[in-house]
Chain A
Amino acid sequence: MYKAFIFILRKELLLALRQKTDVVTVLFFFLIVSSLFPFAVGPDLNTLKIIGPGVVWVGALLCSLLALHRVFETDFSDGSLEYLVLSGEPLTVLVLAKIGSHWLITGLPVVIVAPLIGLQFGLSAGSLSLLLITLLLGTPVLSLMGSIGAALTLGVRGGAALTSILILPFYVPVLIFGAGAVVADLQGLSIEGHLSILIAMLCLSVALVPIAVANAIKIALE
């Protein structure tokens, strides 16, 4: 079980290393989306400071959405997903490995770059580290919830647009509490509640999402 988990994780990371464009595209998308806001809103630093955490969070969310179709779609179209289902290993574990690697490839780079964007929005060091923490807790939830949408829309026409319709409602709470923590901190309010809820969402989704995804994949392959 652990072997299979590690194996899939390694395979996915190796694939990503061989094809760096995927990771780089997502990163550049993140940079561009967040740099668009100062153009649209104007360069006033006080305004930017207020919208900064939200912009970084929306950027991270869109990046996660952008890369979702890659979680299962290629494996589905070349048939290797069927072998995973038939392999005899618990599908939930395999699915968790796939989601984990998706996060490592698209979520983690975004989290690492996020403080740079935060600097452009004039966030203080305290806010930046808090932003980093909330993103570290929140982006895995985005990858997990998103993979439900990706699995449900496997092989369906208009898959990418449909995935975003299905998934955005589930992204909203993560966004509210993730960006909300940084804003609350800026206003001098306690952030304990926000962080607790983020951690709770992470724990719940790690435990429950693989079950839903495994079932969705089985339905798609019938």
Chain B
Amino acid sequence: MAVFFFLLASILTVWGLYVGFFVAPTDFQQGESYRIIFIHVPAAWMSMLIYLIMSFWAAIGLIMNTRLSSMMAHALAPTGALMTFIALWTGAFWGRPTWGAWWVWDARLTSELILLFLYIGYMALRASIEDPRRADRASAILALVGIVNVPIIYFSVQWWNTLHQGASVSLTKSPSMATSMLTGMLVMALAFWMYSIAVSLIRVRRIIRDREANAAWLSDSSGVQ
């Protein structure tokens, strides 16, 4: 399964980057530097979405007392942190030529940074508790408390009048950008989806192996993928 998603991710990335770098027209205001959005926007979307999915699985694990969902939440956290980091990093690269600063203390940037801290806190808490079941449940509580941050990031550009521009894409209005730009961005978003799914699946497999190392079913089928 993971290989399939990886393949899909690579194909979509190639396609998306091709559309983004060669087909999409140059922006009349920002010149070529806007092309970073083909990585920035999908990463920012994923950073929030993965947090929601992670909290969802963590909550299921907490409420239903299931082990696999907690492992899934565990597997998603590093990918989410990576996406948050990419979003911040590419944003800094874009901000330097456009705003003239690497970093601005703007509501969206700040709340995205807080999201990164939340991911780090989640992973740190999990890493420092020895008993995996206790780690599952303690980190689930943390993830659920942190969920308040996601709507704040998402709506920060509407609630505060900030430097970071509002969304150019929405489900209800027609997008305010060229079609090829939109295609590139959506294809890249799909590619990031596939990558996240692939990596999380591989990671969750490792976690299962790690935690269930003594289980009979695992030792029987250790040669089979």
Chain A residues proximal to chain B, CB less than 8 Å: 148, 152-153, 156-158, 162, 165-166, 168-170, 172-173, 176, 212, 215-216, 219-220, 222
- Can you name 19 A-B residue pairings with CB atoms under 8 Å? A148-B145, A152-B138, A152-B142, A158-B128, A162-B124, A166-B124, A166-B125, A166-B142, A168-B117, A169-B121, A169-B146, A170-B145, A170-B146, A176-B110, A212-B141, A216-B138, A219-B137, A219-B138, A220-B138
Chain A residues near B152 (CB-CB < 8 A): 173
Chain B residues near A153 (CB-CB < 8 A): 125, 128
Using CB atoms, name the residue of chain B closest to A164: B121
B134 at the interface (CB under 8 A from A): yes
Chain B residues near A156 (CB-CB < 8 A): 125, 128-129
Tell me the minimal C-beta distance from A147 to chain B in angstroms: 11
Chain A residues near B138 (CB-CB < 8 A): 152, 216, 219-220
Contact, CB under 8 Å: B141 / A162: no
Contact, CB under 8 Å: B128 / A162: yes
Using CB atoms, name the residue of chain A closest to B139: A152
Tell me the minimal C-beta distance from B61 to chain A in angstroms: 12
B118 at the interface (CB under 8 A from A): yes
Chain B residues near A158 (CB-CB < 8 A): 128
Instruction: Please judge, given known A-B contacts A169-B114, A169-B146, A222-B134, whether A148 and B141 are in contact too, CB under 8 Å.
Output: yes
B121 CB contact (under 8 Å) in A166, A215, A219, A222: A166
Contact, CB under 8 Å: A220 / B145: no
Contact, CB under 8 Å: B110 / A165: no
B125 CB contact (under 8 Å) in A152, A169, A173, A222: A152
Cα-based distance from A153 to B128 in the complex (angstroms): 9
Instruction: Please judge, given known A-B contacts A169-B117, A216-B138, A220-B138, whether A162 and B125 are in contact too, CB under 8 Å.
Output: yes
| Binary flags per residue of B187-199, CB closer than 8 Å to A gives 1, else 0 | 0000000000000
Give 7 nearest A-B pairs by CB, closest first. A169-B117, A166-B121, A219-B137, A169-B114, A152-B138, A165-B121, A156-B128
Instruction: Please judge, given known A-B contacts A172-B114, A222-B134, whether A152 and B120 are in contact too, CB under 8 Å.
Output: no
Interfacial residues of chain B within 104-146, with CB under 8 A of chain A in the complex = 110, 114, 117-118, 120-121, 124-125, 128-129, 134, 137-138, 141-142, 144-146
Tell me the minimal C-beta distance from B161 to chain A in angstroms: 12
Chain A residues near B118 (CB-CB < 8 A): 169
Chain A residues near B149 (CB-CB < 8 A): 169
Chain A residues near B121 (CB-CB < 8 A): 165-166, 169
Chain B residues near A148 (CB-CB < 8 A): 141-142, 145
B141 CB contact (under 8 Å) in A152, A157, A165: A152
Cα-based distance from A212 to B58 in the complex (angstroms): 14
Instruction: Please judge, given known A-B contacts A165-B117, A222-B134, whether A172 and B110 are in contact too, CB under 8 Å.
Output: yes
Cα-based distance from A220 to B152 in the complex (angstroms): 30
Cα-based distance from A170 to B124 in the complex (angstroms): 16
Instruction: Identify 20 new A-B residue pairs, CB closer than 8 A, beyond the known A169-B118, A172-B110.
Output: A148-B142, A148-B145, A156-B129, A158-B128, A162-B124, A162-B128, A165-B117, A165-B121, A169-B121, A170-B145, A172-B114, A173-B152, A212-B141, A215-B141, A216-B138, A219-B134, A219-B138, A220-B134, A220-B138, A222-B134
Chain A residues near B110 (CB-CB < 8 A): 172, 176
Using CB atoms, name the residue of chain A closest to B107: A176
Cα-based distance from A180 to B121 in the complex (angstroms): 26
Interfacial residues of chain B within 137-195, with CB under 8 A of chain A in the complex = 137-138, 141-142, 144-146, 149, 152
Chain B residues near A222 (CB-CB < 8 A): 134
Instruction: Please judge, given known A-B contacts A153-B125, A156-B128, whether A165 and B137 are in contact too, CB under 8 Å.
Output: no
Instruction: Please judge, given known A-B contacts A168-B117, A219-B138, A220-B138, whether A212 and B124 are in contact too, CB under 8 Å.
Output: no
Tell me the minimal C-beta distance from B218 to chain A in angstroms: 25
